[in-house]
Amino acid sequence: ERTERWWHRATGYQIYPRSFADSNGDGVGDIPGIISRLGHLADLGVGFVWLSPVYASPMVDNGYDIADYRDIAPEFGTLADMDRLIAEARERGIGIVMDLVVNHSSSLHAWFQAARRSREAPEHDYYIWRDPAPDGGPPDDQRAAFGGPAWTFVEEVGRYYFHYFSPAQPDLNWQTRALREEVYDMMRWWLDRGIAGFRMDVISLIGKDVDARVYEEGPDLHRFLQEMHREVLAGRDIVTIGESWSVSPDTGLLYCGRDRKELDMVFEFSHIREGWHPERGKFAPKPFELAGFKRALFAWQDLTRHDGWHALFLSNHDLPRQVSFYADDQEHRRAAARMLATVLHLLKGTPFIYQGEEIGMTNARFDRIDQYRDLETLNHFEEQIALGVPPEEFILGANRNSRDNSRTPMQWSSGANAGFSSGTPWIEMNPNAERINVEQDMLHPESVFAHYRHLVRLRRDHDVISFGETEPLLMDDPAIMAFQRRLGGTRVLVAGNFTGEEQHVNLPDTVHGEGSCLIASHSARERIGPDLRLAPFESFALLIE
């Protein structure tokens, strides 16, 4: 019934190229820098890399605004560098998954440049245009996700174009067949260069109907994904991960169900949103509550029990550092980082590690707005201040949840700029870089990296971890995340303490037993009974056969 695919046992690793490794001292990470660090990834054992965009771009949104899908941004390197990265990664058994950003292009893309010059240009219909309102203003009051109106006027054609994100990111009009053909052609071109698949940026937006104000999971989404599958993906041994901020267990299998012929899995955000303020959004601090977070994750475990597949992650380039957000980045940082990894990586699905997570990197804690670089943070700052929010309050929220928290450079060593760059980094280093870096971590007996490496191997080597069913335990417990995985007669029991206090863990008798310790943050555990106590942020997994 189950056809095994290579990515069922693999762990992914996300690289944000701007902040990974700078080979030439201009302060910006680049492709030769990534190639120089492939040994780190091979050592960790990951099966593939999700590479955030490296395409030609004016970098208004750090590459999520693509000006040429078939070229590389000069600050990142050349196409020849990219081919070399694909080949050298391949030699180490690591596939390169490209970021496919086709909900929108850059306003500097040749398509948009032609589209804005004339209504008659074929490319005009590659974008979404509406006539001005009778008073000459925007067609309506829709707002963009990065602040401001969702409509921008173009004099030459006397029309407004729609942009879900910034004005520099005009939305592509998927209703235009010729545009879809261009995208499919470009995807085949990359696949033929030997990449291992695509992570598809906000793919749930492509079926939108702006007049109805339906953006996410619009009426044509699944028709387009099925067409893309037929035209590009079918028959290739690759992996596809769609990003969807709206997908829920109700719609999840529409993307990744066995018979759908769409995608392999989706990045869904229900567990992430649990940490946000329900009305005031991501920049309003709210204490983290474990119970809702577990409900969200376990709902997806349940959904993917017999069909579909789950992409497991806590961090990416849009999210804060997980150890800071969900646990403790001070006294218990090492235990906390390892606990989060244990409970996530031992769920069913394909886990993703975001660069720096594997050494427990922490939030940036910038305290002035001029230290931030991210356009979402900067635009929201302007808007919120205009609404009367005190700057200090906004900064507190940004400290906790701004995208720049995860975008400070990778910390490799205790040297200058933590070995990231010999020049001035494009964004400030985290001040703790001298203490928290790859070199230091590897020397430590409680190495976070060694723990991740171990988890990556466990997944590869144990069927029960890749394919076993998940049974949640202590669902409403506000301090402990615990579950059992089960395949045939084999089970794995996993538990993690999300608090800085010792916890008495009352697991049901049915899971008590003896076994062998697969992984542990503190001393090894071989037995589960009624007297289980977990130290602050302790975690372990026990194999019972």
Q: What residues are annotated to the active site?
A: 201, 243
Nearer to Ca ion (CB atom), residue 18 or residue 454: 18
Nearer to Ca ion, 55 or 452 (CB): 55
Residue in 162, 165, 215, 293 binding ligand TEU, rule: CB under 6 A:
165
Cβ–Cβ under 8 Å, residues 132 and 159: yes
Q: Which is nearer to Ca ion, 172 or 427 (CB)?
A: 427
Q: What is the CA radius of gyration of the chain?
A: 23
Nearer to ligand TEU, 7 or 267 (CB): 267
**Three-state SS for 48?**
strand
Place of tokens 């991210």: 374
User: What does 422 interact with, of ligand TEU, Ca ion, none (CB < 5 to 8 A by kind)?
Assistant: none
Do the beta carbons of residue 323 and residue 362 sit within 8 Å? yes
Contact track, ligand TEU, 37-76, x by CB under 6 A: ------------------------x--x------------
Q: Rule CB under 6 A: say whether 282 interacts with ligand TEU.
A: yes
Cα-Cα end-to-end distance for the chain: 24
User: Closer CB to ligand TEU, residue 282 or residue 525?
Assistant: 282
In whole angstroms, how close is the CB of 76 to Ca ion at the nearest point?
A: 8
Q: How far is the CB of 423 from ligand TEU (least distance, A)?
A: 24
Query: Residue 26 binds which entry of ligand TEU, Ca ion, none, with Cβ cut-offs from 5 to 8 Å by kind?
Result: Ca ion
Closer Cβ to ligand TEU, 245 or 540, answer by number: 245
- Minimum CB distance to ligand TEU, residue 316 (Å): 7
Name which position in 15, 34, 85, 202 contacts ligand TEU (CB under 6 A).
Answer: 202
Q: Which is nearer to Ca ion, 74 or 388 (CB)?
A: 74
- Residues 368, 136: Cα–Cα separation, whole Å: 39
Q: How far is CA 180 from the centre of its chain?
A: 25
CB of 390 to Ca ion, least distance (A): 38
Spatial CB neighbours of 78, under 8 Å, sequence gap ≥ 6: 31, 72
**Tokens describing residue 32:** 């030769």
User: Residue 22: which of ligand TEU, Ca ion, none does it interact with, CB under 5 to 8 A by kind?
Assistant: Ca ion
- E strands, 142-262, are 151-154, 159-162, 197-200, 239-243
What pairs with residue 514 in β-bridges?
Answer: 527
Give the residue among 33, 41, 63 at the shortest CA–CA distance from 417.
33
Partner from ligand TEU, Ca ion, none contacting 64, C-beta within 5 to 8 A by type: ligand TEU
Closest among 333, 312, 327 to 430, alpha carbons compared: 333
Q: Does 101 bind ligand TEU (CB under 6 A)?
A: yes
Contact 459, 11 (CB under 8 A): yes
Minimum Å gap between C-beta 245 and ligand TEU is 5
**Cα–Cα distance measured from residue 403 to residue 407, given in angstroms and rounded to the nearest whole number:** 7
Name which of 124 and 282 has its Cβ closer to ligand TEU.
Answer: 282
Nearer to ligand TEU, 145 or 479 (CB): 145
Beta carbon of residue 202, minimum distance to ligand TEU (angstroms, whole number): 5
Interacting partner of 374 out of Ca ion, ligand TEU, none (Cβ under 5 to 8 A depending on kind): none
Cα separation, 116 vs 478, whole angstroms: 54
From 245, 366, 449, 540, residue interacting with ligand TEU (rule: CB under 6 A): 245
DSSP annotation string for 19-38: GT--SSSSSS--HHHHHHTH
Strands (E) in 387-478, as ranges, are 469-473
Binding to ligand TEU (CB under 6 A): which residues in 316-335? 317-318
CA distance 340 to 383: 34
- Residues constituting the chain: 545
Least distance CB 9 / Ca ion (angstroms):
34
Strands 48-51 and 12-15: parallel
For residues 357 and 15, give the distance between their C-alpha atoms in angstroms, rounded to a whole number: 11
- SS3 of 307-324: CCCEEECCCCCCCCCHHH
Report the 10 Å Cβ neighbour count for 226. 13
State which H helix or E strand residue 545 sits in: none
Kindly state whether residue 30 participates in binding Ca ion, applying the rule CB under 5 A.
Answer: yes
Question: Which residues ranging from 368 to 407 are in contact with ligand TEU (CB under 6 A)?
Answer: 376, 403
Asked if 22 interacts with Ca ion (CB under 5 A), we say: yes
When CB distances are held under 5 to 8 angstroms depending on the partner's kind, the choice from Ca ion, ligand TEU, none that residue 403 binds is ligand TEU
201 binds ligand TEU (CB under 6 A): yes
Name the minimum Å distance from CB 78 to Ca ion: 13
Q: Which of 38, 121, 145, 517 binds ligand TEU (CB under 6 A)?
A: 145
Which region among 21-29, 294-302, 371-379, 391-399 touches Ca ion (by CB under 5 A)? 21-29
CB 401 within 8 A of CB 325: yes
Least CB distance to Ca ion at residue 182 (A): 30
Residues that bind Ca ion (CB under 5 A): 22, 24, 26, 28, 30
Residues that bind ligand TEU (CB under 6 A): 61, 64, 101, 145, 165, 201-202, 245, 282, 317-318, 376, 403
